[in-house]
Structure 1
Amino acid sequence: MLVIDGSQGEGGGQIFRTSLTLSMCLQKPVRIKNIRAGRSKPGLLRQHLACLRAGQAICGAEISGDELGSTEVIFKPGRVVPGEYRFAIGSAGSTSLVFQTVLLPLLLSDGVSEVCLEGGTHNGHAPSFDFIEKSFLPLMAQLGYRAEIELERYGFYPAGGGQWRALIQPVQELKPLDLTSRGALLATEAVVTSAQIPGHIAKRELQQIRKRCHWPEEVLHRRQVESAGPGNIVSLRAFSEQITEVAEVVGEKQLSAERVAGRAAKAMKRYLEADVPVGEHLADQILLPMVLGKGGRFTTLEPSLHLQTNIEVIRQLTGVEVALTKESDFVWSVTTHPNSPLSPLGGEG
């Protein structure tokens, strides 16, 4: 049984989720120890427990350690079975992270799946529904992975209560990724989404974006929505010929509207000035689809510890090497060449 140490690198929940996904795709049992050892509150939180139980549901896995606060889990997967599934986190934890845990196993199964997710839809430190829809899934489609999603209810921390659905199609043909240029910048857009908070907050956030990004009034949008509790997120989008980047910051009580918008503007400015196609967070999320598919190459910003840790966990579980190469002060290339079929439809590099 493969053993993965959750305290390595950045020591967060991604190590746990990557291990679960690869265990299911490769049909290899795994023991994950020291889970989230790098966090102030180690062990499984509700959203990590939801990932574990979602994985168990789609493949009938034998598991141990499935309780809140657990720092060690054993996961013995069975065959992944496509079908209709509902995963409720039971809190405002990120539904997107649960979705990404089971997405590849279901994509690489032999039938269509429909998944309903309940919990948080726009969370800090996790991709939002908008990020999944606008940035992640379109890039997945370039690799040959197809999924459609629809938002039914917004869910912000701490109330949660959001809901969305995903229709996941089995892979027909996978393609290598070759993304070293984003092409021409076609459009930019800022969307501030708010629920149950004073209107002046969104107005101030948009004013700050206009000041920092110098974007015209017509691309700045306020979206007032209904949700179980109050919430706010600033989402900046850059639409290019080859890719869409989404930079987001979730509002918090201790952060002013100006600081929330300023952080999003800073992240978008860094991305645009580097002239790379793949942003920091998307770089992290596209690795597994590449390794389980036909590999490829892309350029991105300086690798985060999150990305470097994910690369190491992938190497430990698959034997596939992912090369990081510094091209210039602000540009790095990421290359992987799978040398054996890692999944039922995996590519030979």
Structure 2
Amino acid sequence: MLVLDGSFGEGGGQIVRTALTLSMITGTPFRIENVRANRKKPGLLRQHLTCVTAAKAITHAKVTGADLGSAAFTFTPGHIRGGGYDLAIGSAGSTALVFQTIFPALLCANEPSHVTLSGGTHNKSAPTFDYLDHVFLPLVRRMGASAEITMHKAGFYPAGGGSWHADINPAQKLTPLVLEEAGALKRRAIVADVANIGIDVAKREAKMAAGLMSWPGDTMQWRTVKAEGQGNVIAIYIEHENICEIFTGFGARNVSAEAVAAQAADEARSYIACGAPVGPHLADQLLLPMALASGGSFSTCVPTGHTRTNAAVIEKFLPVEIGIEPDGHKSWRVSITS
């Protein structure tokens, strides 16, 4: 049995999620200790526990020690089964991270899967539903995956209550992805959403972001969205011929609309200055599907701790080598070889 140290590297929930995904796919049992040891609240939170219970359901796995707050647990998978799954986090935890845990495994099922997820859809420190829809899934579809997602209702912290649906078809084998150039600029947009708060907040954010980005007024859009509680998110879209990236800011108590917009704009401007097609958050999300494809490469900005930690965990489960090397003044090249 493979034993993992949850305090390794970045020491967060990603170690748990990647281990569950690759355990399901490879059939490798594992035990993880010191779960999320580097976090303010260590141990399994509801989102991580939902990932465990979902992986258990999909593979009829044997699981010991996985409870709310657990610092260690053991996971022994069975065979992957497609079908219908209803996954409720029970909090505002990220449904996108739960989806990214089970999605690669369900691509390996012998029948289509239909998954309903409920909880948070727009969470800080996690991909949003829109990010999955416009950034992550288009690239994985290019590798041969087949999945469609549909939003029913947005869910923001702390109320949660969001819901959406995913239809996933089996894929025999993913093909390597090479993403060294972004290509020609196709679209740029600023979208500010609010739920159960005044639309003026969204307008202020969009106008602030447009000013910071030096973009014209026709790139701005503000909307009211349906949600159970209050919520606010601004997204800056930069779409090129070969890739779309999104940079987000989230409203919070005692944080001005202008400060929320500035956070998103700062990330977007850093991405533009880097000159690489793949942003720092997308880089760690692409590693696992590319490793399953046994190859590929991309150019990115300075790798985060998430990226390096995820690479190390993947190499424990799969016979691949993940190279992360400087490739210019501000860019880095990530390559996967088997």
Q: TM tier, shorter chain?
A: over 0.9
1:43 aligned partner, one-letter code: G
Match of 1:62 in 2: 62
Match of 2:193 in 1: 193
**1:216 Cα deviation after fit:** 1.3
Match of 1:236 in 2: 236
CA distance in 1, matches of 2:200, 2:165: 32
Match of 1:344 in 2: none
Match of 2:81 in 1: 81
2:18 aligned partner, one-letter code: T
1:306 aligned partner, one-letter code: H
Match of 2:328 in 1: 328
2:122 is aligned with 1:126:
no
- Asked if the contact 1:177/1:294 (under 8 Å) is kept, the reply is no
CA distance in 1, matches of 2:145, 2:133: 13
Identity of aligned residues (%): 47
Deviations 1:237-285 (Å, cap 9, x if unpaired)? 1110001001112111132111111010011111112221111111110
Match of 1:17 in 2: 17
- Asked if the contact 2:108/2:172 (under 8 Å) is kept, the reply is no
- Asked if the contact 1:93/1:160 (under 8 Å) is kept, the reply is yes
- Asked if the contact 1:32/1:73 (under 8 Å) is kept, the reply is yes
Q: What is the SS of the residue equivalent to 2:117?
A: strand
* CA RMSD across the alignment: 1.0
Match of 2:151 in 1: 151
Note the 1:1-349 alignment, pairs <5 A. 1-338=1-338
- Asked if the contact 2:174/2:292 (under 8 Å) is kept, the reply is no
**1:201 Cα deviation after fit:** 1.4
**1:90 Cα deviation after fit:** 0.5
Gaps of 5+ in 1: 339-349
Gaps of 5+ in 2: none
Q: What is the SS of the residue equivalent to 1:66?
A: coil
Equivalenced residues, count: 338
CA distance in 1, matches of 2:329, 2:17: 31
CA distance in 2, matches of 1:237, 1:10: 27
Q: What is the SS of the residue equivalent to 2:299?
A: strand
**1:327 Cα deviation after fit:** 0.8
CA distance in 2, matches of 1:44, 1:173: 32
Which consecutive segments of 4 or more residues in structure 1 shift more than 6 A? none
1:291 aligned partner, one-letter code: A
- Asked if the contact 2:106/2:168 (under 8 Å) is kept, the reply is yes
- Asked if the contact 2:173/2:293 (under 8 Å) is kept, the reply is no
1:71 aligned partner, one-letter code: A
**1:173 Cα deviation after fit:** 4.5
Deviations 1:67-114 (Å, cap 9, x if unpaired)? 110010100000000001100000110000110110000012221101
CA distance in 2, matches of 1:99, 1:54: 10
- Asked if the contact 1:193/1:233 (under 8 Å) is kept, the reply is yes
- Asked if the contact 1:90/1:119 (under 8 Å) is kept, the reply is yes
**1:320 Cα deviation after fit:** 2.0
1:273 aligned partner, one-letter code: A
Deviations 1:119-150 (Å, cap 9, x if unpaired)? 10111111000000000000101111111000
1:244 aligned partner, one-letter code: C
CA distance in 2, matches of 1:173, 1:75: 25
2:7 aligned partner, one-letter code: S
Deviations 1:22-45 (Å, cap 9, x if unpaired)? 100101101011000000110001
CA distance in 2, matches of 1:19, 1:172: 21
CA distance in 1, matches of 2:304, 2:274: 15
CA distance in 2, matches of 1:173, 1:31: 28
Greater mean deviation of Cα atoms: 320-329 or 71-80: 320-329
TM-score normalised by structure 2 residue count = 0.98
CA distance in 2, matches of 1:200, 1:318: 50
Deviations 1:134-168 (Å, cap 9, x if unpaired)? 00000101111111000001111111111000000
**1:63 Cα deviation after fit:** 0.2
- Asked if the contact 1:94/1:121 (under 8 Å) is kept, the reply is yes
CA distance in 1, matches of 2:224, 2:96: 21
